[in-house]
Structure 1
């Protein structure tokens, strides 16, 4: 769940200015970044699919994520992952279990959206790809290629709506041939989100086993 959560958060929030020399792809990513930074909060509904032809695996699910600054709540596969600015909570109703850990900026395993931005900024080269008409929308793709030749990721295609400068979808291809596709179905901004949404209320989970990892 941790790895999946980080992938989704990183993908949906990846908006940064790449660290290479200026090009049209970087300019577009800068525009996306500026647009996202202008919002007080963002709520995204998305479809997630994983396909691996070699293993005959195909899986689809839906999820949503609410983001406000560093804080977020991610719901997918019946599990909730929450970050309140200090601690990370993974709530698993099926097992009646909650894992709690303190966020440590020095720990690469504990990644918030902003750290995912830094990861992508430093780890990828970017260039413009093709433009597609999808349901009346002009979607400009940016191809991201890992700088590290030993990376498990072969490349990422990031689809950006040219009019709204919002992320439409992403296709991540692994070196083993599997692909992860995330398509944004709803992108809402500046909603009346209560601060309590990002606050963990332990008394709501009296029958749960709480695993405090630190």
Structure 2
């Protein structure tokens, strides 16, 4: 009878020890995750501060679209010049100019120009300038892998949209550890589509003309003008 009691106490002690060990492991994991998120937040804040410190930014980029199921594999190149919320974007044969009030979409192939207004205060309005700081809201983030790309250390941060309706499963944001510039952005869709935007060159504080972000209609005398508002 005495042996049975001792065994019972021993079993209870082992169970308690296992529970304590499990609880301790959970606490360690929680602290580790919080620390990792803190590091990711610090790096993202450094990227944002660096972007805001420049008077203007010029980027040449490559854009890739892949979907193995649909057998889609497309590459395109483009460039954008930004100053504050103003920008000139050239991509896939189309030029977009935003002068701070209106957007002018110029399509040479169709000889058509579309003029529209954009509310820059609207969080859903996607603009090139916001592409460098989009991660500041609407995402959960954690540190991911670090890679060596031609001698540059690229730290990846995994971003997961908090909106369940978002069609993107996750985003990997590659950041140059030394310059704090964005190197690339990889979006993975829930349906298997993968898009990659890679920065080929990143120039800052370049001399710009006074009319850099001004739409000059006289340059397009035979174009059809489509005013949306």
> Shorter-chain TM-score: which interval?
0.7 to 0.9
Distance 1:118 1:185 in 2: 18
Q: How does 1:76-91 map to 2 (within 5 A)?
A: 76-91=91-106
State the Cα distance separating 1:141 from its structure 2 match: 0.3
Query: Gaps (5+ residues) in structure 2?
Result: 1-35
Match of 2:189 among 167, 171, 174: 174
1:164 counterpart SS class? coil
Aligned to 1:23: 38
Aligned to 1:47: 62
- TM-score, L = length of structure 1: 0.85
Distance 1:119 1:75, change over 3 A: same
Aligned to 1:4: none
Return structure 1 stretches of 4+ with deviation > 4 angstroms. Answer: 105-110, 113-119
Match of 1:160 among 172, 175, 180: 175
Distance 2:57 2:140 in 1: 27
Whichever of the two has the greater Rg, that structure is: 2
**Alignment RMSD:** 1.9
- TM-score, L = length of structure 2: 0.80
Distance 2:124 2:45 in 1: 27
Say yes or no: does 1:136 pair with 2:151.
yes
- Higher RCO (Cα < 8 Å, 6 or more apart): 1
Query: Gaps (5+ residues) in structure 1?
Result: 1-20
1:23 counterpart SS class? helix
Match of 1:203 among 215, 218, 221: 218
Distance 1:74 1:157, change over 3 A: same
For these two proteins, the number of residue pairs brought into alignment is: 194
Distance 2:107 2:55 in 1: 28
Q: How does 1:37-116 map to 2 (within 5 A)?
A: 37-105=52-120, 110-113=125-128
Distance 1:193 1:52 in 2: 39
